[in-house]
């Protein structure tokens, strides 16, 4: 099963920071997932929320800040004092520092970022090291128009036969349902339709069992060590 560190190893370090990404690499994750947004001046930055309020010493929408202003924010102390001093990363920094070491999943948080994101992927020549996901159909459809070689996945809170058909008809490679919506039959239907099934939304350790029981291909998880085997057991210890 593909073990994708959600916003890095964000259960152990502040999300979408160097510390979280480094921890994911150290823990043996297969991929790192992160979120892409546009700063006010058009820079592509890695940040989850639409505002900086929850995880920084700033306030207000990400899109109201220039890159220089975002770099001035501190984004680690909210998680734990030892992470004080962590700063917002750009997509370019992640491409340079992490993509050579580990493939990445880039979630489009703002559809307006799509053209710039696809151009950045193309310019860096990393399409084979990147998956692109979103909850927004327009973002994924635009991404597919810009670069048909990209692996695209639809993040969905609803998992049913209709959503599976839509993903297939729109040429996507992946469907990414919430873990609580998984059933063995639906996963099998998606597989029969040629889709990769990659779950999201894991917040409790027992949900890892559902991943294995339903046969998904991978999942994003804040705690990469949880996904080694069912119930978080280390390989070789399952009864």
Handedness of CA 233, 237, 238, 239 (dihedral sign): negative
The pLDDT score that the predictor gives to residue 228 is: 73
Residue 230 pLDDT level (bands cut at 50, 70, 90): very low
Is pLDDT at 232 greater than 70 in this prediction? no
Query: Domains of the chain (ranges plus CATH)?
Result: 2-48+89-232 (3.20.20.190)
Catalytic site includes residue 178: no
More confident residue, 235 or 137: 137
Q: Of 6, 59, 200, 206, which is the active-site residue?
A: 6
Is pLDDT at 225 greater than 70 in this prediction? yes
Which pLDDT tens digit goes with each residue over 135-154?
999 999 999 999 989 999 99
Which pLDDT tens digit goes with each residue over 29-57?
999 999 999 999 999 999 999 999 999 99
Which pLDDT tens digit goes with each residue over 175-190?
999 999 999 999 999 9
Q: Contact 65/39 with Cβ under 8 angstroms?
A: yes
Q: Of 48, 191, 200, 206, which is the active-site residue?
A: 48
Catalytic site includes residue 48: yes
Per-residue DSSP letter, 88: P
Which pLDDT tens digit goes with each residue over 66-112?
999 999 999 999 999 999 999 999 999 999 999 999 999 999 999 99
Burial of 60 (0-12, 13-18, 19+ CB in 10 A): exposed
Is pLDDT at 238 greater than 80 in this prediction? no
């Amino acid at each position: 099963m593909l073990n994708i560190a959600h916003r890095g190893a964000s259960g152990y370090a502040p999300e979408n920071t160097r510390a979280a990404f480094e921890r994911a690499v150290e823990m043996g994750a297969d991929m790192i997932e992160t979120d892409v947004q546009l700063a006010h001046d058009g820079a592509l930055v890695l940040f989850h929320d639409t505002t900086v309020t929850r995880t920084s010493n700033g306030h207000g929408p990400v899109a109201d800040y220039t890159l220089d202003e975002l770099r001035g924010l501190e984004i680690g102390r909210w998680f734990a004092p030892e992470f004080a001093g962590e700063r917002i990363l750009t997509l370019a920094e992640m491409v340079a520092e992490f993509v050579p070491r580990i493939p990445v999943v880039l979630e489009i948080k703002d559809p307006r970022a799509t053209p710039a994101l696809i151009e950045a992927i193309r310019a860096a020549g990393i399409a084979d090291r990147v998956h692109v996901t979103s909850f927004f159909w327009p973002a994924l459809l635009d991404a597919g128009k810009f670069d048909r070689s990209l692996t695209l996945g639809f993040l969905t809170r609803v998992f049913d036969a209709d959503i599976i058909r839509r993903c297939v008809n729109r040429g996507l490679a992946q469907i990414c349902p919430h873990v609580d919506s998984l059933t063995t039959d639906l996963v099998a239907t998606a597989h029969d339709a040629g889709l990769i099934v990659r779950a999201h939304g894991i917040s409790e350790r027992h949900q890892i069992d559902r991943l294995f029981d339903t046969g998904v291909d991978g999942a994003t998880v804040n705690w990469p060590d949880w996904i080694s085997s069912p119930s978080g057991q280390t390989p070789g210890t399952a009864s």
